[in-house]
Amino acid sequence: MKHLKLLLSILCLFATFSMASAQNQSATKIAEWERAKAYTKEYLDAMPESGYSLKPTPEMRSFADQMLHLTDANYGFTATATGEKSPYGLGDVEKTKDKSKANVTKIVMAGYDYVIDALKKLSPQQLDEKVKFMNRFEMTKDMVFTKDFEHQTHHRGQATVYLRLAGVKPPQEKLF
């Protein structure tokens, strides 16, 4: 009986540590998305209004389109992970007519808020659930958010070239 109580105490302690670790991982993920949002805002702020239509080559997206594409994915990936209907259809954010600095900034920031709010609602157990991504890839909801993070980082990184072409110094790297 004494050994059973000790074993149960150890198991309860382990469960408590596991739950605390999972909650800490969720908090870290949210903090990383908040950092990414702030970093992207620095890019949006750095580009002058005239640079929002800048295209390095004719076949490339404009700076505004690059940022709207990033946001389209934030909505689409998050909707896949949560199972909720996105407020935008696939590609609709990029079709925004008003590509002014103020409007693009508003839309992009709202897209980050959509991701962050969704993460705040999901438990660590829900993040471990599997979903079908792009109707082809089975992965955890957590991995969908990881792929989205990689996608937004990629397109924000591309925007560095746009800023340089506009004669603007890109924001200081924001790893932490």
Helices (H) and strands (E) in the chain, counts: 5, 2
- DSSP state, 128? T
Q: What DSSP element (H or E) covers 132? A: strand 130-133
Q: Does the annotation flag 154 for ligand binding?
A: no
- DSSP state, 167? T
Q: Does the annotation flag 3 for ligand binding?
A: no
Tokens matching residue 161: 């070239």
CB 156 within 8 A of CB 143: no
CB 148 within 8 A of CB 78: yes
Distance CA 131, CA 133 (A): 6
Binding site members: 69, 151, 155
Binding residues for a divalent metal cation: 69, 151, 155
